[in-house]
Structure 1
Amino acid sequence: MPPIAGKKTVKQIIQDNLGDLTRSEQQLANVLLQDYPMAGLKSVTKFASAAGVSTPTVIRMARKLGFDGFPHLQDALRDEVAAQIKKPISKHEDWQTQTADSHPLNRFAATVAENIHYTLERLDRDQFDAVAGLLADPERRIYVAGGRITRSNADYLFNHLQIIRPNVTQLGSFVNVWPQYLLDMDERSILILFDIRRYESSILRLATLARERGCRIVLFTDQWGSPVTKVAHYVFHALVEVPSSWDSTIAIMLVLEALIAEVQRSGWDESRKRIEELDSMFSATRLFRTFE
């Protein structure tokens, strides 16, 4: 199988080259994107039939995307599926087999820097601005939830948003009480979710139910994309692989901190009042040490 440029998934390659495809090839691409990656794992005849095109069109599209043919495109899709379901122990063994020419700290930092660079390179600025605008609207109620690994990201976002604007709620860690939060969600609500591999079914169920209530869904996920992608209105993809058994959310945190800064900037007058009032409360309770 030919190497994919950088760390791009097949989905990203299609999105980057969609404008260069013919109408028939675009039909194929849309079928694959709508049922990704399963549509592309069918036989060439079934895939072509699903898009209403000929089998040679499938082969031409695969080659335009940089693959030797459709079987090689399918190999790339299978590799993505295998990577998504990889367990921490398997990840550790894979990294151990790779030669390391530098100190582990340098190797880890270099990988994180590459993840950040690639994440920012592919980040949709218009989408970033749209989400920042939604989060800066104090009339919109915001709900935040994360999974087993990404709960810390949800905590971080909640702690900052709750200081600089009102109407922010963090869903508890007990999934069985999430339906109680759904009761208050409507078309003026925003649900921010975090879900990276191994994707959690509870997050998908929450997103699906919230969307049915008209809630706007913002998703932070990895390069492959959580199943929540299908119901989310806004999706931020970030690279997460590092030399570890676990995935890194540093690239996600960068986007989060930038969003927090923009929300605070756009609503600074109100944010400043809240921060000043909070500081007064901290002083009154002597929660933090002062140096006066």
Structure 2
Amino acid sequence: MEPHETTVAERLNARQRELTRAERQVSDVILSNYPASGLGSITELAEAADVSTPTIARMVQKLDFAGYPEFQAKLREELNDILSNPIAKRDTWVSAAPDQHILNRFTQEASENIRSSLEQLDPTTFDRIAALIADPERRVHISGGRITQTLANYLFLHLQMIRSDVVLVPSNSNAWPHYLLDLKEGDILAVFDIRRYESSTQLLAEMARERGAEIILFTDQWRSPIQAIASHTVSARITVPSAWDSSIAILLVVEAAIAAVQELHWDDTRGRTEELEGIFDRTGLFRKFV
């Protein structure tokens, strides 16, 4: 799949208002276990969504596919992208790499990722996420996977300065069960999960949801299976000319969320920050030039 070719999930979410109620039922089924839920026969999908096969045929045409076979071919292509390991990712972009310096190519793709991601992100959804994270009545738990734990740690360090009751949950499954003991109904779990989607991260989200937590998911354009239980999902593009995925677009949304959260309760944040700065001064953490 081309780096910025629109995914089926993106098309479905962008055109929700154009879909009929029956077509939205199909959309819900497809997104519930994406993309696997759309890889069966049209009859199986119709039965799962409790609609007719003509309803599905009309819906895929609204998504700009000639028919169900083309729709499924796109899903299979996406599944292959999701499962790609670093070697396969590199082979894909090297075969079609333009004659430009890697710095320029990478920057162009990363910039396009940001643009495409922001086009897909509903400002209302962003505002709700910021409000949830800022809610002083809710404890915020943050976690990620093998690579995305770096993003989780970045969000944690900033929120820890802004508000109390913020917890960084280890990504290692032999450590995070202890943190579930303190997770209560109404708490927030902000979780990061991008392809190839880690089983441990999904299990953490499922168990947190069972305990009554609201899940905020930060994921890629193909969307982690965690989206099925998430209250809110941020989907950002991650494909760049590299064997590794880029977190730049996700990080931009995270930093914007940090800025929004601090402004929602600025008086409290300011007082907390002033107190923290006093502690920094006493510990001599930062160098003084005067």
The bucket for the TM-score relative to the shorter chain is over 0.9
In 2, the alpha carbon distance for the partners of 1:53 and 1:227 equals 23
Partner of 2:206: 208
Query: Gaps (5+ residues) in structure 1?
Result: none
Partner of 1:31: 29
Change (3 A) 1:153 1:57: same
Partner of 1:143: 141
What secondary structure sits across from 2:183 in the alignment?
A: coil
Change (3 A) 1:109 1:283: same
Q: Which of 110, 113, 120 is 1:112 aligned to?
A: 110
In 2, the alpha carbon distance for the partners of 1:18 and 1:163 equals 38
In 2, the alpha carbon distance for the partners of 1:224 and 1:207 equals 18
Partner of 2:43: 45
| Higher normalized contact order (CA 8 Å, seq sep 6+, divided by chain length) | 2
* 1:190-245: CA deviation from partner (whole Å, max 9, x where unpaired): 11110101111111111111111111111100000111111111110000000000
Displacement of 1:23 after TM fit?
Answer: 4.6
Do the aligned residues in 1 keep the contact of 2:3 with 2:240 (CA within 8 Å)? no
- 1:159 matched to 2:153? The reply is no
- 1:190 matched to 2:188? The reply is yes
Change (3 A) 1:102 1:83: same
In 2, the alpha carbon distance for the partners of 1:253 and 1:194 equals 11
Partner of 2:122: 124
User: After the TM superposition, which residues 1-292 of structure 1 pair with which residues of structure 2 at under 5 Å, given as runs?
Assistant: 6-292=4-290
Displacement of 1:187 after TM fit?
Answer: 1.9
Do the aligned residues in 1 keep the contact of 2:218 with 2:234 (CA within 8 Å)? yes
What secondary structure sits across from 1:211 in the alignment?
A: helix
One-letter amino acid of the structure 1 residue matched with residue 245 of structure 2: D
Change (3 A) 1:49 1:145: closer
In 2, the alpha carbon distance for the partners of 1:5 and 1:111 equals 8
Change (3 A) 1:115 1:170: same
Change (3 A) 1:27 1:209: closer
In 1, the alpha carbon distance for the partners of 2:56 and 2:261 equals 45
In 2, the alpha carbon distance for the partners of 1:31 and 1:171 equals 31
In 2, the alpha carbon distance for the partners of 1:275 and 1:27 equals 47
Change (3 A) 1:135 1:48: closer
One-letter amino acid of the structure 2 residue matched with residue 234 of structure 1: H
One-letter amino acid of the structure 1 residue matched with residue 136 of structure 2: P
Displacement of 1:173 after TM fit?
Answer: 4.2
Displacement of 1:139 after TM fit?
Answer: 2.6
Identical residues among aligned pairs (%) = 50
What secondary structure sits across from 1:149 in the alignment?
A: coil
What secondary structure sits across from 2:249 in the alignment?
A: helix
Say what the alpha-carbon RMSD is for the aligned residues: 1.9
In 1, the alpha carbon distance for the partners of 2:133 and 2:119 equals 23
* 1:98-148: CA deviation from partner (whole Å, max 9, x where unpaired): 132322111100100000001111112111111111221223211111111
| Equivalent residue pairs, number | 290
